[in-house]
Amino acid sequence: MELTTVWFILIAVLWIGYFTLEGFDFGVGLLLPVLARDDTERRVMINTIGPVWDGNEVWLLVAGGATFAAFPEWYATLFSGFYLPLLLILLALIVRGLAFEYRAKRPEASWKASWDRAIIVGSFVPAVLWGVAFANILRGVPINAHLEYAGGFLDLLNPYALLGGLTTLALFVTHGALFVALKTDGEIRHRARRLAVPAVAVSAVLAVVFLAWTQQQTGTTASALAFVLAALALVGAGLTAHAGREGWAFLGTFATIALAVAGLFLALFPDVMPSTLAGGTSLTTTNAAATAYTLRIMSVTAVVFTPLVLAYQGWTYWVFRQRIATHHIPESPVATAAAR
């Protein structure tokens, strides 16, 4: 197997890791005003992702860095053509990270409410725009003969791409609801379980339409198999959520997102960014790749460090595996100090 194909697969794996892990992060943030009734319950929800959200974002950084090093032409065209949506995603992630860190710094309700809104918006923007961006990559964008993006921002807001954004939003909300049900106890857990079943139904409708549209446009036999398995995993998630089996239901949405993203990359290969222009040039794993020497050095580095990163992140999830309830939340030290 050529190294260009190997690195295409590795980048696909990195995006699968990002969407499956950061996906429930976004879902928890989006559900903050839906599942929590007071500040203590909001703290419970935030604490479910507190130890892992920043580690989950590392998958995005590594995916971007790997794309830059392995496929520099892909990176350059993608970040120049999708500059505005990617900038909005970056700003949303920055604001969201600040909200997690600064929310508890002052006791005023207005202060916390402002940062809660930042968490919601910071989760909503990337949840939608990542779907829009990937849908456009699959559909193809105007790339001229010089491998430069020749369109505008409005070209990205087509019906197929907007459906992709709604699909990722619905899947992440469902994934987040099941994660909350899996990681909490008490009333929050019951609310999350009640929400999960209709959320699965909405996600299933959107996902089936989007994946069928994708298969009709650029699909292959391999992508069709992945999409069918993704649909079956989502059905399984709905059935197990209805039965109150949060762990299996969460694994179902995890598998759904992983298989759907894998199917998207299978439908894309060997292109990395197809061109919609008659005289344009599509970016492929061949003409967008770095030199063979660069890919060899990267491969050695990946073989050494990837198992270490996976082991460390797996250990983190194991350490913080226990459920959280309102009685585990101590009084805010900031509020106590203010009262004194």
pLDDT single digits (tens) 193-245:
999 999 999 999 999 999 999 999 888 999 999 999 999 999 999 999 998 89
Structure confidence at residue 339 (pLDDT): 41
3-state secondary structure of 149: strand
What is the reported pTM? 0.92
Structure confidence at residue 333 (pLDDT): 56
> Within its chain, how far is the Cα of 192 from the centroid?
20
15, exposed or middle or buried, with CB in 10 Å at 0-12, 13-18, 19+?
A: buried
pLDDT averaged per 10 residues, the chain (length 340):
90 94 94 92 92 89 92 90 92 94 89 93 96 92 82 84 96 96 92 93 95 91 94 94 91 96 94 85 89 91 88 89 83 52
3-state secondary structure of 275: strand
Structure confidence at residue 79 (pLDDT): 87
User: Does a structural domain hold residue 259?
Assistant: no
User: Does a structural domain hold residue 251?
Assistant: no
- E-strand ranges in 126-172 read none
User: Does a structural domain hold residue 88?
Assistant: yes
Lookup result for tokens 């003969």? 145
Using the Cα atoms of residue 226, residue 288, residue 86 and residue 297 in order, give the sign of their dihedral: positive
Q: CB under 8 Å to 27, separation ≥6 — which residues? A: 123, 127, 172, 173, 174, 175, 176, 177, 179, 180
User: Does a structural domain hold residue 252?
Assistant: no
Residues 247-287 have pLDDT tens digits of 999 999 999 999 999 999 999 999 999 988 877 788 899 98
Structure confidence at residue 334 (pLDDT): 53
Residue span of the structural domain in which 129 resides: 14-195+269-339
Structural domains of the chain, count: 1
**For the chain, how many helices (H) and strands (E)?**
13, 2
User: Does a structural domain hold residue 260?
Assistant: no
Cα separation, 44 vs 323, whole angstroms: 10
Structure confidence at residue 332 (pLDDT): 62
Structure confidence at residue 146 (pLDDT): 79
**How are the residues of the chain apportioned to helix, strand and coil, as percentages rounded to the nearest 5?**
80, 5, 20
Structure confidence at residue 338 (pLDDT): 46
User: Does a structural domain hold residue 6?
Assistant: no
User: Does a structural domain hold residue 4?
Assistant: no
User: Does a structural domain hold residue 25?
Assistant: yes
Q: For residue 186, give both structure tokens.
A: 């008490």
